[in-house]
Amino acid sequence: MKYIKLLIIIVSLILVTGCNRSSDYDGVLNVLNWSSYIPDSVIHDFEEEYNIKVNYGTYSSNEELLAKVTSSKEGTYDLVFPSDYMVELMKEKNIIMKLDKDKILNYYNIDDTFLHQSYDPYNEYSLPFLSTVVVIAVNEANITDNITGYNDLLMSKYKNNIVILDDQRIVIGMSLMALGYDMNETDPKALKEAEEWLIKLKQNIKAYDSDSPKTFFITDEVDIGIMWSAEAILARDENPNINIIYPSEGHAISMDNYVILKGSKNVDNAYLFIDYLLRDDVSKKIIAEYPYISPNKSIYNTISLDDIFNKGYYVENIGSNIKEYDKLWADIK
Amino acid sequence: MKKGDRFFKFITLSPIVIYTSLLILLPLIYIFFLSFCKNDSYGGIIYDFTLSNYIAIFDITYLNIFVKSSLIAFIATFICICISYPFALILRERSENLQNLMTKLIMIPFLTNSLIRTYGWIVLLRKNGIVNSILITSGLIENPLSLMYNNLGIIIGMSYTLLPFMVLPVCSSVFKIDNTLIEAARDLGAKPWAIFKKIIIPETISGVFNGSLMVFIPAIGYFFISDILGGGKAMIIGNLIKNQFLTARNWPFGSAISIFLIIITFFLVWIYRKLGGKLDDLGGM
């Protein structure tokens, strides 16, 4: 009997405090975003300022995001951050809603160059959040050659000296660009050539790593890396000898976007959050911690925007041809 | 009284029955079902019967992965046997307290997350890591050895991570050998080698086989070890399955490979039975 009383007291305490907590806020917002993308302090400041509770979840690939969204009840999540090709796919699956730009006052902080991209030409459904490109990072303390593009990396003296992204679309796309094809080429003959090119490159590859290729530079494991620009910048912060090169053949670009899901119950809060993140000072805070390329006009990007967009290519949906890519990937590994 | 017994049985058994049926049996049935479906180009599943996923496995590309993967797993299993067998035989002669202590000591590190332990190996094996530094400063080698970011790294990682699954069944079967059998053999003049061949091996083969299954099967599936210690350069079956679910968005094919893996497991058990092994001796199987 004594225990039952104790149990009742504990349960009621939990209920009471639980109620108090949610009624402290004026509203909620359910966000799903890439891990390590927005500093905790930024979210906390938003909660304080607008008195809105942000339920923040993370994912580590676009496919994981899609699986999470489609497998849960409509209205579970409000705001998500899919990359370029996933915006297109979500649009076709009819699970995202059109944006009302009048509700985003800071819309004019966005640099025009980032708008009207191929996956959403009129930005009806999406607005750019952050972007990143694939670059070649070279430790010039050990490599004195003038590396300008992917084909320079085939030289046999770089044996076991390259770390490269563990991403089939990016790496196969890179080999296609090196051979003069489009990054999203699906012609079997081109793919055959790409396979041969990648097998040649493989003897120079020390490891495939997408999570933290900068570690390979910090521990002196490799001198060349093919990685996302943000990682390369972080590696350069540790080792000033690292030079960042934009491959002459072109590079892959990825843009993550604000997207509001259909069936969202907190649409206005989602707009408030987008508007907040687009503020100059908030954008600066994000970039200071995670050095991606920001579309905010007030931010000086160390990377030239012309370089980014003129020679940048997005990963596109290639339908069932993905099976051929997957097989090629299995073949070279 | 009898009624109470049944009630007690029901209460104690139901959690495990519910657990296995909800979290193991049901997902397995779903995977089996998925493996006969088609997929659309957006990663969706079309509920339409097809055998094409199973036919696709027999493509030379994927068969190569099965062969390479099995080879790595086989070597890792063999290394585990080479470590566990002498360990168990030596420990058999010692006191029960020491036996308990040593097997516990083997288990304790494995309470830590295996991912963290795998990252720990990077510190040891990398180019300027602890092993290479010691070898270079002691003058044994001049240039650092490539201990990881290759197949060697994967084999080291696999045999380390899966060692307890070999040690435990091997130890329990070795400790169980009836001492009187060995004594009788000695009295009758059997040489140590004959004792080993005629008594110890037949008495412990089920333990070794049990351990081998428990090492071999995960060793073809642990993709994180090949990603971290192999530098992602070798694709093992685990990576292949993971890719189907995450990047290629081809869940039916991924399911078919998983089912194929289960068939291989049954095949290995079948071989074991053909060789005269008893299913009961496999315990957990």
SS3 for B98-163, per residue? HHHHHHHHHHHHHHCCHHHHHHHHHHHHCCCCHHHHHHHHCCCCCCCCCCCCCHHHHHHHHHHHHH
- Supply the pLDDT for residue A4: 59
**Token pair in block for residue B69:** 């993967």
Integer CA distances (angstroms), A228 to A65, A147, A176, A292, in order: 20, 17, 18, 9
Task: Determine the average pLDDT of the residues in A113-130.
Answer: 94
Compute the 3-state secondary structure of chain A and give helix, strand, coil in percent, each to the nearest 5.
45, 20, 35
Taking CA–CA distances from B234, the nearest residue in chain A reads A333
**Token pair in block for residue B63:** 């068969």
Q: Is B38 on the interface with A (CB under 8 A)?
A: no
- Do strands A79-80 and A27-34 pair parallel, antiparallel, or not at all (unpaired)? parallel
Whether pLDDT at B251 is above 50: yes
**Amino acid of residue A243:** N
Rounded-to-integer distance, Cα A314 and Cα B1, Å: 73
Is the Cβ–Cβ distance between A284 and A299 less than 8 Å? Answer: yes
Listed in sequence order, the residues at least 6 apart from B74 whose beta carbon sits closer than 8 Å to its beta carbon are B216
Q: Is B242 on the interface with A (CB under 8 A)?
A: no
Q: Topology of A132-252+312-332 in CATH?
A: D-Maltodextrin-Binding Protein; domain 2 (3.40.190)
A111 CA to centre of own chain = 19
**Token pair in block for residue A300:** 């000086």
Task: Determine the average pLDDT of the residues in A173-186.
Answer: 95
Chain B interface, mutation test: which of A159, A221, A315, most B Cβ atoms within 10 Å? A221
Domain assignment present for B48: no
- Report the run of H or E that residue B224 belongs to, with start and end: helix B223-228
Cα dihedral A311→A312→A314→A318 (10° resolution): 30
- Supply the pLDDT for residue A20: 46
Residue B231: its chain A contacts at CB < 8 A?
Answer: 205-209
Pairwise CB contact (< 8 Å): B126 & A219: yes
Integer CA distances (angstroms), B133 to A106, A177, A218, B151, in order: 55, 40, 17, 21
Task: Determine the average pLDDT of the residues in A308-332.
Answer: 89
Pairwise CB contact (< 8 Å): A61 & B247: yes
Q: What is the 3-state secondary structure (H, E, C) of A256-269?
A: EEEEEECCCCCHHH
Residue A323: its chain B contacts at CB < 8 A?
Answer: 248, 250
- Reference B157, options B219, B213, B206; nearest CA is B219
Pairwise CB contact (< 8 Å): A61 & B246: yes
Task: Determine the average pLDDT of the residues in B96-122.
Answer: 90
Residue A324: its chain B contacts at CB < 8 A?
Answer: none
pLDDT tens-place string over residues B192-213: 899 888 888 888 988 898 899 8
- Supply the pLDDT for residue A252: 95
Is the Cβ–Cβ distance between A83 and A257 less than 8 Å? Answer: yes
- Supply the pLDDT for residue B273: 80
Taking CA–CA distances from A93, the nearest residue in chain B reads B42
Residue B43: its chain A contacts at CB < 8 A?
Answer: 63, 66
Residue B279's pLDDT band, with cuts at 50, 70 and 90, is: low
Residue A243's pLDDT band, with cuts at 50, 70 and 90, is: very high
Residue A151's pLDDT band, with cuts at 50, 70 and 90, is: very high
Candidate from A128-137, A300-309, B27-36, B44-53 with smallest mean pLDDT? A300-309
Closest chain B C-alpha to A207 CA, distance in angstroms: 4
Taking CA–CA distances from B232, the nearest residue in chain A reads A208
Q: Could you say which of B127, B231, B244 has the minimum Cβ distance to residue A220?
A: B127
Pairwise CB contact (< 8 Å): A330 & B240: yes
- Do strands A162-164 and A224-228 pair parallel, antiparallel, or not at all (unpaired)? parallel
Q: Is A202 on the interface with B (CB under 8 A)?
A: yes
- Listing DSSP states for A153-185 in one string gives GG-GGGTT-EEE-S-HHHHHHHHHHHTTS-TT-
Whether pLDDT at A76 is above 60: yes
Residues paired with residue A312 on neighbouring β-strands, in sequence order: A251
Q: Could you say which of B42, B128, B233 has the minimum Cβ distance to residue A333?
A: B233
- Supply the pLDDT for residue B284: 45
- Supply the pLDDT for residue A36: 83
Q: Could you say which of B126, B146, B247 has the minimum Cβ distance to residue A63?
A: B247
Q: What pTM, to 2 d.p., does this model score?
A: 0.84
Q: Could you say which of B42, B146, B250 has the minimum Cβ distance to residue A93?
A: B42
Closest chain B C-alpha to A16 CA, distance in angstroms: 32
B54 CA to centre of own chain = 24
CA atoms within a 13 Å half-sphere pointing along the CA-CB vector of B231: 29
Mean of the per-residue pLDDT values of chain A: 90
What is the number of structural domains in chain B? 1
Q: Is B235 on the interface with A (CB under 8 A)?
A: yes
Candidate from A17-21, A26-30, B197-201 with smallest mean pLDDT? A17-21
Domain of B163: which CATH number?
Answer: 1.10.3720.10
Is the Cβ–Cβ distance between A332 and A325 less than 8 Å? Answer: no
Q: Is the ipTM of this complex over 0.90?
A: no
Taking CA–CA distances from A206, the nearest residue in chain B reads B149
Pairwise CB contact (< 8 Å): A327 & B61: yes
Whether pLDDT at A11 is above 80: no
Residue A317: its chain B contacts at CB < 8 A?
Answer: 41-42
The burial of B273, by beta-carbon neighbours within 10 Å (0-12 exposed, 13-18 middle, 19 or more buried), is given as exposed
- Supply the pLDDT for residue B285: 38
| Better pLDDT: B86 or A5 | B86
Task: Determine the average pLDDT of the residues in B54-72.
Answer: 93
Most confident of A197-206, B95-104, B194-203: A197-206
Q: Could you say which of A92, A206, A317 has the minimum Cβ distance to residue B149?
A: A206
Domain assignment present for B267: yes
Q: Topology of A2-130+256-303 in CATH?
A: D-Maltodextrin-Binding Protein; domain 2 (3.40.190)
Closest chain A C-alpha to B129 CA, distance in angstroms: 9
Closest chain A C-alpha to B123 CA, distance in angstroms: 10
Rounded-to-integer distance, Cα A281 and Cα A260, Å: 23
Angle, helices A267-277/A40-50, rounded to nearest 10 degrees: 120
Q: Could you say which of A63, A93, A160 has the minimum Cβ distance to residue B246?
A: A63
Residues paired with residue A138 on neighbouring β-strands, in sequence order: A224, A243
Residue A194's pLDDT band, with cuts at 50, 70 and 90, is: very high
Domain assignment present for B247: yes
Chain A interface, mutation test: which of B149, B236, B239, B243, most A Cβ atoms within 10 Å? B149
- Supply the pLDDT for residue B136: 93
- Reference A79, options A60, A93, A58, A101; nearest CA is A58
**Amino acid of residue B3:** K
Whether pLDDT at A288 is above 70: yes
Mean of the per-residue pLDDT values of chain B: 89
Taking CA–CA distances from A163, the nearest residue in chain B reads B231
**Token pair in block for residue B90:** 């030596």
Domain of residue B276, residue span: 60-282
Candidate from A102-111, A129-138, B38-47 with smallest mean pLDDT? B38-47
Candidate from A71-75, A307-311, B138-142, B193-197 with smallest mean pLDDT? A307-311
Taking CA–CA distances from B39, the nearest residue in chain A reads A320
Taking CA–CA distances from B229, the nearest residue in chain A reads A207
Pairwise CB contact (< 8 Å): A330 & B244: no
Task: Determine the average pLDDT of the residues in A6-16.
Answer: 57
Rounded-to-integer distance, Cα B74 and Cα B149, Å: 19
Whether pLDDT at B278 is above 70: no
A241: helix, strand or coil: coil
Residues paired with residue A259 on neighbouring β-strands, in sequence order: A80
- Supply the pLDDT for residue A14: 57
Residue B59: its chain A contacts at CB < 8 A?
Answer: 327
pLDDT tens-place string over residues B117-138: 999 999 999 988 999 999 999 9
- Supply the pLDDT for residue B271: 83
Angle, helices B114-125/B130-137, rounded to nearest 10 degrees: 20
Sign of CA dihedral A282, A286, A288, A292: negative
- Supply the pLDDT for residue B246: 81
Whether pLDDT at A15 is above 60: no
- Reference A49, options A312, A292, A272, A283; nearest CA is A272
Pairwise CB contact (< 8 Å): B65 & A317: no
Whether pLDDT at B2 is above 80: no
Pairwise CB contact (< 8 Å): B233 & A221: no
Q: Where are the domains of chain A?
A: 2-130+256-303, 132-252+312-332
Rounded-to-integer distance, Cα B240 and Cα A326, Å: 9
Is the Cβ–Cβ distance between A226 and A136 less than 8 Å? Answer: yes
Pairwise CB contact (< 8 Å): B127 & A221: yes
* Percentage of chain B exceeding pLDDT 90: 53
Whether pLDDT at A17 is above 70: no
Pairwise CB contact (< 8 Å): A61 & B128: no
Rounded-to-integer distance, Cα B223 and Cα B238, Å: 5
Q: Is A98 on the interface with B (CB under 8 A)?
A: no
